[in-house]
């Protein structure tokens, strides 16, 4: 039986760039073919916005790179968006708040290095 994980935006970028900041634990979970790894459409939106504002440098062919990986995309649904309203005001980042809501609605384990996100009632792995 596959375990399903949602990866945070920075985890996605670290994974694709083989960045040393990615923990050994996160790397092994993502590499494990028995696990289902999801990246949210929220992350695509965040990357696109930050790239267009010149706050993030990513390859122009990032879409092709992601599509060539075994990472699946989790679309944003109305249920995800509605769940954001119920979140306590712990984290102010709208992208992270939507990722947290997706984990709650879909009962996913979140792979993140963010230190604030684990204070929400979701399962997190660093």
Short-list 90, 80, 102, 78, CA closest to 8: 102
Identify the pLDDT of residue 67. 86
Average pLDDT over residues 44-55: 95
Average pLDDT over residues 110-125: 95
| The token pair that represents 102 in the structure block | 């997706």
User: Is residue 13's pLDDT more than 90?
Assistant: yes
Q: Domain spans of the chain?
A: 3-125
Judged on CB neighbours under 10 Å (0-12, 13-18, 19+), 67 is: exposed
pTM: 0.93
Half-sphere exposure of 119 (CA within 13 A, CB side): 10
Highest CATH level, class, for 3-125: alpha beta
> In the block, which residue shows the tokens 């699946």?
72
Identify the pLDDT of residue 1. 60
Tens of pLDDT, residue by residue over 85-100, are 999 999 899 999 999 9
From the DSSP assignment, how many helices (H) and strands (E) are in the chain?
Answer: 6, 5
User: Is residue 110's pLDDT more than 90?
Assistant: yes
């Amino acid at each position: 039986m596959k375990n399903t994980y949602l990866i945070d935006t920075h985890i996605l970028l670290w994974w694709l760039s083989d960045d040393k900041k990615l923990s050994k634990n996160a790397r092994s979970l993502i590499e494990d073919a028995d696990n289902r790894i999801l990246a949210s459409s929220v992350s695509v939106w965040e990357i696109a916005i930050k790239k267009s504002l010149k706050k993030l440098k990513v390859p122009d062919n990032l879409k092709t790179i992601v599509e060539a990986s075994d990472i699946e995309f989790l679309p944003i649904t109305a249920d995800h968006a509605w769940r954001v309203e119920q979140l306590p005001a712990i984290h102010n980042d709208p992208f992270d708040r939507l990722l947290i809501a997706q984990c709650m609605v879909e009962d996913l384990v979140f792979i993140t290095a963010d230190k604030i996100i684990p204070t929400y009632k979701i399962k997190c792995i660093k």
